Amino acid sequence: MTAQPSDNLAAWLRKAMDEHEGALLRYAERILGDADRGRDVVQDTFLRLLESGGGFDGGRLAQWLFTVCRNRCLDVCRKERRMTLMSEHVERTCAGSDLPPDDVASGREQAGRVSAAMSALPPNQQEVLRLRFQNGFSYKQIAGITGLSVTNVGFLIHTGIQRLRKRFQVDGHGGRQGETR
């Protein structure tokens, strides 16, 4: 990813979409619990990118896109919660916390055993775990995206991993001793 779009904004945008649209769609759908609204938010995110004029290096671009995407998702949740208190659908998908329960967004996915167990974690832990292990962001980048402190991100990831380990009783060599409940 070039730092700047130079003379060809269209090619630059195409490349940014190639690299990031999938991850952003996955992220937005999980926050909103709805693929269609996730698509809207992701398109809007790329629009904002065009509007911003670019000027990011590769890592910063990803962080920028996720930050904008997340803010747009939360705007959507806030607005829908405010506007349609009567709408059960919105209450189901957006209410309560920043993130919906994992199974709302991914019930149809073929989840692995650890990621399936992850759905029992609080939404904020799920989010930082995904940002770290699915999107490869550092603690610092995750802090930038979520507005949390780096310490807070470290704590959430640590706690999330500890809880998953308890679930699986993973031993010191990465082996498994079976799932416990």
Partner 1 sequence: MKLSKDNPLLTAYALGELDAGEAAEVEEAILADESPRAEVEAIRGLAGELEGELLAEPMPHLSALERVRLEQLAAALDRAAAGRAWHSRRRLRWAAVAAALLAAGAVGMWALLRPGTPSEHNIVIVPIPTPTPPSPGPHPRLMPTPSPYGPAPVGTPTPYAGRNDFFEPWHPSVGSALLSDSGQSAPSTRSIQDDEHVDNPWVSAARRLGSTFGLNVGAASYRYIRQVIDEESRLPEPSAVRIEEMINYFQYDYAPPAEGQGPLAVRADLAQCPWSAGHVLLRVAVQAGVGQAETGADQIVACDARVVVTFNPDAVASWRLIGFDGAMADQAGQGEQIAAGRQATALYELVPASKAAQGGGAGLAAACAVLVEYKLPEGDGVRLITVSPGGPAVRFEEAPEDFRFAATVAGFGMILRNSPHKGTCTVAGMLRQAQSSLGEDQLGRRSGFAEMLRQPTVSWPEEE
Footprint (CB under 8 A) of partner 1, residues 75-104:
75-76, 79-80, 83
C-alpha torsion 142→31→17→133, nearest 10: 40
56 touches partner 1 by CB under 8 A: no
Task: Give whole-number Cα distances, 167 to 21, 78, 128, in Å.
Answer: 33, 33, 19
Query: Which residue in 3, 96, 162, 179 binds partner 1 (CB under 8 A)?
Result: 162
**Residue 58 Cβ vs partner 1, minimum distance, rounded to whole Å:** 19
- Using the rule CB under 8 A, give the single segment among 57-65, 96-104, 169-177 that binds partner 1: 169-177
* Residues ≥6 apart with Cβ < 8 Å to 167: 117, 120, 179, 180
# residues near partner 1 by CB under 8 A? 71
d(CA 77, CA 142): 21
Of 53 and 147, CB closest to partner 1: 53
Give the whole-angstrom CA distance, residue 79 versus residue 169.
Answer: 42
Quick check: 62 binds partner 1 (CB under 8 A)?
A: no
**Alpha-carbon torsion 74, 75, 76, 82, what sign?**
positive
Cα–Cα distance between 175 and 169 in angstroms, integer? 9
Residues 117-156 close enough to bind partner 1 by CB under 8 A: 118, 129-130, 132-134, 138-139, 151, 154-155
> Least separation, in Å, of the C-beta of 42 and partner 1?
7
Show contacts with partner 1 in window 12-51 (CB under 8 A): 12-14, 17, 21-23, 25-26, 29, 35-37, 39-44, 46-48, 50-51
Q: How far is the CB of 147 from partner 1 (least distance, A)?
A: 18
CA separation for the pair 100, 166 (Å, rounded) = 23
